[in-house]
Structure 1
Amino acid sequence: MKLRVLGCSGGIGGVQTRTTSFLVDDDILVDCGTGVGDLERDELLGIDHVFLTHSHMDHIACLPMLVDSVGEARRMPLTVYATSETLRILHSHVFNWLVWPDFSTIPDRRLPFMRMQPIRVGEPVRLGKRAITALPAHHTVPAVGFCLDSGTGKLVYSGDTAYCEEQIAAINALDDVRHLIIETAFADEQHGLALASRHLCPSLLHAVLEELTVSPEVLVSHLKPGADDRIMEQIAGHGGRLVPRALMTGEVLEF
């Protein structure tokens, strides 16, 4: 499998600051932040599956526009995979005819532009030889991470999460984890804010990495614009067996 980073920032404001979205094998999106807006129309038309970690705006911002832009040109619905709680939030607060049309009923319920598919933690969604499995996460809204399995290697994406023992255990139970994309949204001086908003800061990231028994390449995402260098300096200062680096927009990971 091949993952292309469309966006991995914790905010906007510049060429490299697009919010979280990953294009996998040309037909899958993992999260649907502002980075999706940089894709060409032909690329948008090639997307059949969207996997969402949670309902926060920086992870779903482009989903309404994506469906609106390509829905009429598609022969089959775009399938959106998320937990039932996240799908309920999207229906109630986004696709509610007030913020945006309910594309799960347009042009009719039998063949809509968008289909919502509930997923559960630990149950893989199989797309050919590929499997995508939701992992536990701990955030301010219902949330998951994902394990992407090509059959020959795995990539784990934490999603937005605080320190989560269940996610650590799930990662340690995997074999052949090539890459770990993990968020660190705040600097250590904002430790209290990180706890309150259920994100990681460098000291909490260090605690997570110290518990891992696997040895993936660790790639840090969701860095706040303007604080990214400071956060990465603090991560380096904590040391440890695993040596994280910042994930970059435009980067391609193969596994």
Structure 2
Amino acid sequence: MKHYLTTKDYANTGETFVLELDEQFQLLRTTPCPDKLDPYYQHESYISHTDRSFTFLEKLYQLVKKYSLRKKLDWIQEYAGSSSAILDVGAGTGSFVSYIRSKDWKADGVEPNKKAREIGASKGVSLFENTAVLSRRKYDVITMWHVMEHFVDLNKQLDPLLGLVKEEGTLFIALPNFKSHDAEYYAEYWAAYDVPRHLWHFSRTAIEKIFQERGWKVVATKPMLFDAFYISLLSEEYKGNRFKWPSACWRGFMSNLYAMRTGEYSSLVYVLQKG
């Protein structure tokens, strides 16, 4: 591992962390990993654990989330057909589970954060705290929307999840991409590093190699176009830019434009099947 970048927890504590690069896998690791991570999630700006919709940015986030729910189900139907059983890992407040259930799909959700599970329960969505109770179940589809970057022990947490997928099953994994144009432009201010909540930072090469070792193949990648704008907006805020909105819109546009040629979008959804 070699030093790649030094950055901060701009969203919460202001603490400094180092990103180390595994050159073979093109994978970054956040160091040090705090002994207790829960306190780093306890701040109001961590919107994925709430359904807050007070500020303009929060309203925009919720609006984009509704669009994304439809898009995610479209991808599942495209690559997994009419699969009947889905497990959403890192379900947050249960929005995706609730949405696909409303479309007559069978779905379970796993969410370790107690506050997020309580919000889900208030909406009528019961979520499991962990996968221990699911060890005897098999799913046609497992989804992880911006989840793997939070794993403390990547191998220890990933392998049991793969054991829950049927032989002909499909994985859908959304992750930030540190090879994107906006990541390179913002460097230590890139909001998707989000240390130390994000302990791993992936590239397309990393995902291909990590899953190839386990007998899985990337059959498609899909861009999450809105992420470039949202991440750029937060990054401009971390830089202290008073004109963050026009700057973020321009940088998000440029990032997606570059990615049309390189494939290196700010966030990517990886579609994986056994092969």
Q: Same fold judged by TM-score > 0.5?
A: no
Greater helix content? 2
TM-score (norm 2): 0.36
